[in-house]
Structure 1
Amino acid sequence: MGILKNIFTWWEGATFGTWMGLRGKTRVGEDAQGNVYWQGGSDTAGNPRRWVIYSGLNDASRVPPEWFSWLHHQIDGAPDQSLPAPRVWEKPPEPNRTGTIEAWRPKGALEEGGRRVAATGDYEAWTPGA
């Protein structure tokens, strides 16, 4: 099932066609999550083409900020060569939690009981013609 899945599905990593397209391209680096970054050829504006092959589910929020900068031509070289070392106070990036059980939900959300905090005295509901 692994080979067939790789040929026909794109949402859990690169397809067979993508891997074939990597021939002759340059592997630039890998991030802490195992995503691999590639460069090769050029786009219509003459900029080098850059892309990521995800390790696991294809989710753009899994690209760390430093590699995002490289992908979008904000820096020229690979992040480990072009950027300073991370500061001690910096937290590691987190993937987008939307749609998961870990997503943030306000107190009035249905998943949190559906009851919001009562409005304070400075709120007056709008009524037509008032």
Structure 2
Amino acid sequence: MSVLKTIFTWWNGATTGIHFTVARRGRFVGQDELGNKYYEARDDRDSYDRGRKRRWVIYNGYAEASKVTPDWHGWLRYTFEEPPTVEPFVVKPWEKEHLPNLTGTIHARRPQGAISQGGDRQRATGDYEAWTPE
């Protein structure tokens, strides 16, 4: 089944066509701690802007853009010229650790009162008065 997924689906990882294009046109730049692999084109032949080489990511598993860490995101969007493998990203002391978007997964936050938690919540306290039309 995984061979068919590789041939026909892009959301479960890179397709066979992408692997062919990467081998022919790209150069491996690095890999992040989540297992995503980052590439840069060998030249600017198929670039949108002359002088800029295209950059892309091949996700490890399900393709979800929030799985790109901030340091690599900056490199992909040309905020940083050098990739984090050459010039490491300096994390400020007030910055939080990167988390991918967990919405729609089993790890998503489900607060008390959510339908997935049974829909029961605490009753309103005495400071709440329901509005009724007069």
Match of 1:94 in 2: 99
In 1, are the aligned partners of 2:71 and 2:89 still within 8 Å (CA)? no
Identical pairs, percent: 49
Deviation per residue, 1:2-29 (Å, 9 max, x gap): 4433221212111111122221322111
Equivalent residue in structure 2 for 1:54, among 53, 59, 83: 59
Partner of 2:34: 33
Q: Which shows bigger deviation, 37-46 or 12-21?
A: 37-46
Please list every run of 5 or more consecutive structure 1 residues that lacks an aligned counterpart in the other structure: none
Segments of structure 2 that go 5 or more residues without pairing to the other structure are none
Q: Secondary structure at the match of 1:108?
A: coil
Deviations 1:63-111 (A, max 9, x none): 1111111112211110133334557897653332222222111211122
Per-residue deviation, residues 24-63 of structure 1 (Å, max 9, x unmatched):
3221111112211011232147543211011211122221
User: How big is the alpha-carbon RMSD for the aligned residues of Structure 1 and Structure 2?
Assistant: 2.7
Q: Relative to 1, partners in 2 of residues 1:78 and 1:122: Cα closer, same or farther, differing over 3 Å?
A: same
Distance 1:75 1:126, change over 3 A: farther
1:68 aligns with 2:73: yes
Q: Which amino acid aligns with 2:99?
A: E
Separation of aligned partners in 1, 2:85 and 2:132? 59
Aligned length: 129
Q: 2-side partners of 1:61 and 1:3: how far apart? A: 26
